Structure 1
Amino acid sequence: MKKCCILVFGLLFVCSHSALAEQIGSVDTVFKLFGPDHKIVVEAFDDPDIKNVTCYISRAKTGGIKGGLGLAEDTSDAAISCQQVGPIELSDKIKQGKDKGTVVFQKRTSLVFKKLQVVRFYDDKRNALIYLSYSDKVVDGSPKNALSAVPIIPWGAR
């Protein structure tokens, strides 16, 4: 009984720590007779540390019975595009280069071990924010990844 309770609380913990992203839309890619179809989901999230940067991620979501129950492992395919949506002010920590890659987004893509992550870097020389998305499960010797750059430009100045 004790092991059962630990398992249930463990599953609740895993499910409760999904990233906060707003689903924008989705398209079905494969019809499944039982359970939801396989699809590509588009989600948006705001950088938690830098105001006025929004990132959009498209990712594969496995359907079927296992997918409907949250037991399926999603593929590692994902794309990212980040945009400046207003004036950007960087903290001193980021400006001074002490922020050498910060995880700004995580989404579980399997029940236990696999996550889609987004890491932010600051390129001082080019005054740009770089967002790298990757799956932390190695696929064919290297993780699948995608990149988006946000040049920091004056906002509203004419």
Structure 2
Amino acid sequence: MHLLSSFWGRHAAGLLLALTSVAAAASGEKIGTVDTAFKLIGRDHDILVEAYDDPGAPGVTCYVSRARTGGIKGSLGLAEDRAEASIACRQTGPISFPKPLRQQEEVFSERMSLLFKRLRIVRMVDRTRNTLVYLTYSEKLIDGSPQNSVTAVPVDRSIPIPVR
């Protein structure tokens, strides 16, 4: 038992730092919030709007809105947010492709509860229409959610989307 507590004592700070940096890397840029319900203690329930720049397609930004639970649990990061999100992706600059894209891949993922729920954004390539299609959904460890939202960004035909 002493060996175990000694191990955790030495490595807990590093593990916490690693988990914090992973969570921070997955987060989008906060654009704003709108309060939806007042909470006497802790932050209010709200809708959060975040922007995610697609690393595989510079010039494309996805805007995601999602409900965020407030109160004491929400303020401490212990609440489970609702599995509902909306997405709108737009061309925000010249679109380029530093390397070929996969036909379908997860481009963003963010935690929505302490352990079990994640918001995921998947990019798909519609080769026929030269369009990037983005799907957002919530994934729960035990029971996934059918709540989803989809958007598409057409790419000028003079710039074919490279797919590997």
TM-score class normalised by the smaller sequence: 0.7 to 0.9
Q: Distance in 1 between matches of 2:80 and 2:17?
A: 17
- Kept after mapping to 2: 8 A contact 1:87/1:154: no
- 1:75 equivalenced with 2:78 (yes/no): no
Q: Distance in 2 between matches of 1:31 and 1:9?
A: 37
Aligned residues: 151
- Kept after mapping to 1: 8 A contact 2:116/2:141: no
**Out of 58, 61, 69, which is 1:62 matched to?**
69
- 1:17 equivalenced with 2:17 (yes/no): no
**Could you list the runs of 5+ residues in structure 2 that have no partner in the other structure?**
159-164
SS in 2 for 1:32: coil
Q: Distance in 2 between matches of 1:74 and 1:2?
A: 35
The change in CA–CA distance for 1:14 and 1:30 in structure 2 (over 3 A counts) is: farther
- Please tell me the residue identity of whatever aligns with 2:107: V
Q: Distance in 1 between matches of 2:8 and 2:39?
A: 31
The change in CA–CA distance for 1:44 and 1:33 in structure 2 (over 3 A counts) is: same
Q: Distance in 1 between matches of 2:81 and 2:13?
A: 22
**Out of 22, 44, 52, which is 2:51 matched to?**
44
**Out of 104, 122, 127, which is 1:124 matched to?**
127
Query: How much does 1:58 deviate?
Result: 0.2
Query: How much does 1:14 deviate?
Result: 3.8
Give the corresponding residue for 1:102: 105
SS in 2 for 1:136: strand
Q: Distance in 1 between matches of 2:124 and 2:66?
A: 21
Scaled by the length of structure 2, the TM-score of the pair is 0.80
- Kept after mapping to 2: 8 A contact 1:32/1:63: yes
Give the corresponding residue for 1:84: 91
Query: How much does 1:129 deviate?
Result: 0.1
SS in 2 for 1:65: helix
The change in CA–CA distance for 1:64 and 1:129 in structure 2 (over 3 A counts) is: same
Question: Root-mean-square deviation (CA), in Å?
Answer: 2.5
Query: How much does 1:51 deviate?
Result: 1.0
